[in-house]
Amino acid sequence: MKIHFRKLANADEPLHLHETLDVSELVKGRKDILSVAPLTVNLKALPAGTDSVNVVGTLEGNVDMLCARCLSEVNSKLNIPFAETFKWLKQPLLPEDEDDELIYAPDEIVDLVPYVEENFVLHLPDSVLCKADCLGLCQTCGQNLNEGTCSCDNTVVDPRLAALKGFFTKQDD
């Protein structure tokens, strides 16, 4: 998935890029991601002035993740916007001349795959919930509280006040 600055500058129409990209290696270390479908990349590259190219579009895919509370499987549909501007020249020597919005490309040909992969990783959710009011798992027995209740006593007592727990109960003398 590459763009060529000179060819694009002389073209009458924008360059359309439609590809599928395998991103499973990018999420290999994440324990909360069960599987990831190939990413569908739909991009449009258009000239944006002298030696500059705007690349806009969307990245779409599905990720199967674990619910952060109850550990059930959740399918998340991703629709990620993509917008980058590339400039064909070496990065300016002076920091004040540098534009944060531009990506400087020293070569005439730019490979878009690293930028697509970076956008994908940055837009992955940190955690997902199977539903907004997910009850999670019982801390004692591990029962999924969305499926039913358990008989465990999950009363949380502040350990600093635990000695006072039985203070007001009647004692048998």
One digit per residue, the tens of pLDDT, for the chain of length 173 reads 888 777 776 677 888 889 998 988 888 888 888 889 999 999 998 887 777 788 899 999 999 999 999 999 999 899 999 998 887 775 555 455 555 667 776 677 888 889 889 999 899 888 899 999 998 888 888 888 888 888 887 777 788 877 777 777 766 54
Element (H, E) at 115: helix 113-123
8 Å CB contact between 94 and 78: no
User: Which pLDDT belongs to residue 98?
Assistant: 54
Q: How far apart are CA 152 and CA 4, in angstroms?
A: 65
At 104 the three-state DSSP class reads: strand
8 Å CB contact between 74 and 66: yes
8 Å CB contact between 122 and 31: no
User: Which pLDDT belongs to residue 97?
Assistant: 53
Residues 6+ apart with CB under 8 A from 160: none
At 72, list the tokens.
């059930």
At 24 the three-state DSSP class reads: helix
Element (H, E) at 46: strand 39-47
Total number of residues shown for the chain: 173
What pTM value is reported for the model?
Answer: 0.74
Q: How far apart are CA 117 and CA 84, in angstroms?
A: 13
